[in-house]
Amino acid sequence: MSAGSRVLYKFKRLLRYLGVYKRTITMQDGIRYRERSGISLRRALSDTGPGVKEYDVRLPWIDMDGRRGMRIRYTNSRLYADVGHDPRIVLYAQFLEHIRPGMRVLELGCGTGGGSALLAHAVGPSGGIVAVDRDGESIRFARQRHRSDHCSFELGWIEALEGEINGAFEAVVCVDLLRGTKDTPEGARVIVEVGRVVRPGGLLIAIVTEESDLAPLKDGFEGLGLVLERTLIPCNRTGWTGCVYQRPGQIQRAPTRDYHEPDPFLE
């Protein structure tokens, strides 16, 4: 690095520290994130920071509301993988090899959709992802950032499963399933409802932000007959971890119709 480059680098660092220099982050697909303040993301989310960092997002396409952009607020509970660290990416990579093309997968606690995109790629166009989260801003962003014909993002929580039959999914991924309901009747109901929709032979991956939440989940899932397969390696930066369970049995895939054959009802 030349002397001039070093001076420029140090000058930008100084402006960054003073909160004056604002960066623009451009992704490979053309999406741009423009900082609304010069304070770094780490400082913004630290104990002495404001707890939030805002970005103006510019899309290379027009969204469903006829706009090309939106404003997002990165917080410690609303994580955007493009500009920061989402531990879902680290943990999903550890079980992604078991998500096969054609699978129907439920994701509870999808956040801003970074992990959903990995799942959607794994199941391919012959499969389907139902991604659910309680945070409206996260769902609004995910619908635009990770648009896919075989991945739907829904606002809600466990009530989203009321219309699903038993064994509706070959894999279920849940993040912080017991948040706010641990050791309560509601928490027990949530565990039963999630276990209900796992198909025989299917997987249930439970990810937690606090390792202490693994014990009540283990008791609940094993009480439903699910078998603990393995524990995921924790994320070094956040401490998030998880476990992989399997429901005994053989997966029975729904029959697929060959559209090259004539429809018997039309003959």
- For the chain, the domains span 3-74, 87-246
Quote the CA–CA distance of 53 and 115 in Å, as a whole number.
21
Helices (H) and strands (E) in the chain, counts: 7, 11
Q: 126 and 136 in contact (C-beta within 8 Å)?
A: no
What pLDDT, on the 0 to 100 scale, is given for residue 16? 54
pLDDT-based confidence at residue 15 (cuts at 50, 70, 90): low
pTM for the model stands at 0.84
Mean pLDDT over residues 84-102, rounded? 96
- The DSSP call for residue 178 is T
pLDDT-based confidence at residue 109 (cuts at 50, 70, 90): very high
Mean pLDDT over residues 173-200, rounded? 93
pLDDT-based confidence at residue 84 (cuts at 50, 70, 90): very high
Quote the CA–CA distance of 88 and 96 in Å, as a whole number.
11
User: Considering only 6-15, 92-101, 151-160, which range has the smallest mean pLDDT?
Assistant: 6-15
Report whether CATH 3.40.50.150 matches the domain 87-246. Answer: yes
What pLDDT, on the 0 to 100 scale, is given for residue 255? 44
Residue 226 has pLDDT above 70, yes or no: yes
pLDDT-based confidence at residue 263 (cuts at 50, 70, 90): very low
User: Among 205, 199, 176, 251, which residue's Cα sits nearest to residue 95?
Assistant: 205
What pLDDT, on the 0 to 100 scale, is given for residue 251? 61
Mean pLDDT over residues 88-95, rounded? 97
Counting residues of the chain whose pLDDT is more than 70, the rounded percentage is 87
CA distances from 146 to 60, 112, 137, 152 (A): 13, 9, 14, 10
pLDDT-based confidence at residue 265 (cuts at 50, 70, 90): very low
Q: 144 and 63 in contact (C-beta within 8 Å)?
A: yes
Packed helices 214-223 and 185-196: angle between N→C axes, nearest 10 degrees: 60
Residue 111 has pLDDT above 70, yes or no: yes
Residue 56 has pLDDT above 90, yes or no: yes
What pLDDT, on the 0 to 100 scale, is given for residue 65? 67
Q: Which two tokens stand for residue 57?
A: 């997002």
Mean pLDDT over residues 153-161, rounded? 94
Q: In what side-by-side order are the strands of the sheet with 32-35? A: 24-26, 32-35, 53-58, 69-74
What pLDDT, on the 0 to 100 scale, is given for residue 17? 56
User: Among 169, 162, 160, 103, which residue's Cα sits nearest to residue 133?
Assistant: 160
What pLDDT, on the 0 to 100 scale, is given for residue 21? 72
> String of b and e for 61-100 (b: at least 16 CB within 10 Å)?
eeeeeeeeebebebbeebbbbbbebbbbebbbeebeeebe
Residue 14: φ, ψ to 5°: -65, -45
Residue 139 has pLDDT above 70, yes or no: yes
What pLDDT, on the 0 to 100 scale, is given for residue 264? 38
Q: Is the dihedral of CA 28, 5, 56, 142 positive or negative?
A: positive
What pLDDT, on the 0 to 100 scale, is given for residue 22? 84
Q: Which residue has the higher pLDDT, 15 or 180?
A: 180
What pLDDT, on the 0 to 100 scale, is given for residue 267? 37
- The DSSP call for residue 98 is G
